[in-house]
A and B are shown apart, each in its own frame.
Chain A
Amino acid sequence: MKGLFLKGINKSFGSVRAVDNVSLEIQSGEFFTLLGPSGCGKTTLLRIIAGLELQNSGQVILDGEDITTLPAIKRQINTVFQSYALFPHLSVFENVAFGLRSRKVPNPEVEKRVNRALDMLEIGQMSKRFPHQLSGGQNQRVALARALVNEPKVLLLDEPMSALDAKLRSQVQVELRRLQQKLGQTFILVTHDQDEALVVSDRIAVMKDGKIAQFGTPNQVYDYPDTRFVAEFLGAANVFSGTYRDGLFHSEIGILKFDRAPSWEHGEMAIRPEWIKISDTEPEINGVRATVREIIYRGTNLDIWMDPGPIRVRSATTDSFKIGDQVWLEIAPSELVVFDE
């Protein structure tokens, strides 16, 4: 069985349950992301996969081999640390060569593989420099090369982008995605940045309080969040609470129709701001009469806050609205997400 399997992983620190009965199947060759707010246990889970932390219970299985109790030094898994954790006293070349040398790979092969890794990450000309002489982005590449040169079965990335500025970050995200697709290796990324997760991942596991809140492709978790937490963590969402009666949702903004019947009587539904249509005439279905309360210019779009609600709507910057304008909003039933709880 190819792939990484986690079965019922539990880990507590004192009375805090960092990882709470997590089971995951990560396919070989996929870019997998653990997404969640700080303190949700995602880094602990990553460290358990790396072998740097020992779980209280549960199994870790890599390509059919039970590596539950195998220490980090024997796992074919390498990590890019959040701080990069480069060896400050070693040159870039020796940093990258470290993993090969510690496994006593013969010198000519070390040289060949290190140079290949450095070239792949376009830092070949820096091989003689030391980490403190490089920029943050260059150090990140060294950290990546240092891990990838070992040709790990799984590459772990612990918030590797957090030290980079916003512009570089979005560029590196795309590069990282391309690199992973070129190599066809399994990458597991830990991040709290939902944009990053959506950009790079094949699949995302959203974590909360040590548990997997939802698990699926970026499309699935963004478009069909199971819970309010997932909806709000992955971008903006208008959440309405109300009652389900006679096949209709009686909410604070009006009576709405929807596609999927909920299992509850009192609960919540949500719609993303960009899925609400604004029109001058009353739509056939789920029309809500609203007043423009606040307009925020965001460059790529306008964020408009409307009463009642407030409902947040995203519209093109070419639209001209004024505060106080009366409009019709169309809350399409197909875009309305029903939460599980």
Chain B
Amino acid sequence: MRKIRVLVNIVAVFTLFFLYLPLLAVAFFSVNNTKYGLVWKGFTLDWYIKLFHNELILQAAWNTLVLAVVSTIVSTLLGTVLAIGMDRFPWPRRMNTVLDMILHIPVIIPDIIFAAAMVVAFGFLRLLSSMFEPGLINMIIAHITFQTAFVALIVRSRLVSIGKDVEEAARDLHADTPYLLRRVLLPLLTPGIVAGAMLAFTLSLDDFIISFFTAGPDSVTLPLYIFAAVRRTVTPQIHALSTIVLLVTVIMVIGMERFTRNVQVN
């Protein structure tokens, strides 16, 4: 037994090492004072400074942010409404199963299939309006499409855990629907909505495949930029950029943890 426990610990440590070593290496090279090579040549923030003078990167960062923020806001709204509608409307049981499946498909379907489907869909839409030329609007719509399912799933599980009792109690206590939503349902759903929004935001932030299929020349996002740049050569600037994205993600994960813990305590 003890031997096994020691072995498990070693494997665990090794796994963590394996997961985080490449990320640490990226951070390491982002402050290494050399353009090529794996040798430490001293600490520098040059690559970060250059990064912030690179118009293309700044534009890509801006696009990424706009895409993530807009798609997250819209998908959080849609996902929450969808979840409430799916869970609280008295659907017949069979319809419920169908709805459940519909909700899970965008989550489990391979991104590449989803992306290809988007290309087809926008191809049709383009016949109606030139608004659907590849570009930021298409990307936002595509992102909303898959984010909504994630948000709805998370909000729905929260709805299930809240139960219908408190809603019935609110109705019994003369609350009309707007009052019930404002005073009971939305406050109780907030942790689920925030968790869903954060997940949607991070999914949008690092999405490559769907963005790649729907982007236009003016709507390059950071993942697309990094992909294009890496194909030429990996520069320390890319390391710096990756490190920043990594930090942002870490901060968001910590923030989310804190938030959910606070909510649970209350």
**Complex Cα spacing A21 to B168, Å:** 25
Taking CB as reference atom, which chain A residue is nearest B173? A99
Q: Which residues of A contact B113 (CB under 8 A)?
A: none
Q: Does A89 contact B (CB under 8 A)?
A: yes
Contacting chain B: which of A76-84, A167-175, A268-276?
A: A76-84
- In the complex, which residues 68-123 of chain A have their Cβ closer than 8 Å to any Cβ of chain B? 71-74, 77-79, 81, 83, 85-90, 98-99, 101-103
**Complex Cα spacing A98 to B176, Å:** 12
Contact A73–B176 (Cβ < 8 Å) = yes
| Contact code string B209-224 (vs A, CB < 8 Å = 1, else 0) | 0000000000000000
Q: Which residues of A contact B171 (CB under 8 A)?
A: 52, 71-73
- In the complex, which residues 155-194 of chain B have their Cβ closer than 8 Å to any Cβ of chain A? 165-166, 168-176, 179, 183-184, 187-188
Q: Does A146 contact B (CB under 8 A)?
A: yes
- B-side interface size class: 10 to 19
A102 in contact with B176 given A87-B184, A89-B266 (CB within 8 Å): yes
B191 nearest CB across to chain A (Å) = 10
- A-side interface size class: 20 to 34
B159 nearest CB across to chain A (Å) = 14
Q: Which residues of A contact B176 (CB under 8 A)?
A: 73, 102
Q: Which residues of B contact A71 (CB under 8 A)?
A: 171
Q: Does A50 contact B (CB under 8 A)?
A: yes
Q: Which residues of B contact A78 (CB under 8 A)?
A: 172-173
Q: Which residues of A contact B184 (CB under 8 A)?
A: 87
**Complex Cα spacing A48 to B184, Å:** 23
Q: Which residues of A contact B188 (CB under 8 A)?
A: 87-89
Contact B165–A85 (Cβ < 8 Å) = yes
Taking CB as reference atom, which chain B residue is nearest A89? B187
B178 nearest CB across to chain A (Å) = 10
A102 in contact with B165 given A89-B187, A89-B266 (CB within 8 Å): no
B173 nearest CB across to chain A (Å) = 4
Contact B169–A102 (Cβ < 8 Å) = no
Q: Does A150 contact B (CB under 8 A)?
A: yes
Contact B175–A73 (Cβ < 8 Å) = yes
A79 in contact with B169 given A73-B175, A103-B174 (CB within 8 Å): yes
B59 nearest CB across to chain A (Å) = 43
Q: Which residues of A contact B175 (CB under 8 A)?
A: 73, 98, 102
Q: Which residues of A contact B179 (CB under 8 A)?
A: 102
**Complex Cα spacing A102 to B173, Å:** 7
| Contact code string A146-170 (vs B, CB < 8 Å = 1, else 0) | 1100100000000000000000000
Of B173, B184, B188, B266, most A-chain CB atoms within 10 Å: B173
Q: Which residues of A contact B172 (CB under 8 A)?
A: 50-52, 72-73, 77-79, 81, 147
A188 nearest CB across to chain B (Å) = 14
Contact A150–B266 (Cβ < 8 Å) = no
Contact A85–B174 (Cβ < 8 Å) = no
- In the complex, which residues 26-68 of chain A have their Cβ closer than 8 Å to any Cβ of chain B? 50-52
Contact A81–B173 (Cβ < 8 Å) = no
B172 nearest CB across to chain A (Å) = 5
**Complex Cα spacing A51 to B174, Å:** 11
**Complex Cα spacing A52 to B167, Å:** 11
Taking CB as reference atom, which chain B residue is nearest A53? B168
Contact B168–A85 (Cβ < 8 Å) = yes
**Which residues does B use to contact A, with CB under 8 Å?**
165-166, 168-176, 179, 183-184, 187-188, 266
**10 A-B interface contacts by CB (under 8 A):** A72-B168, A78-B172, A81-B169, A85-B168, A87-B170, A88-B166, A89-B188, A102-B174, A102-B183, A146-B173
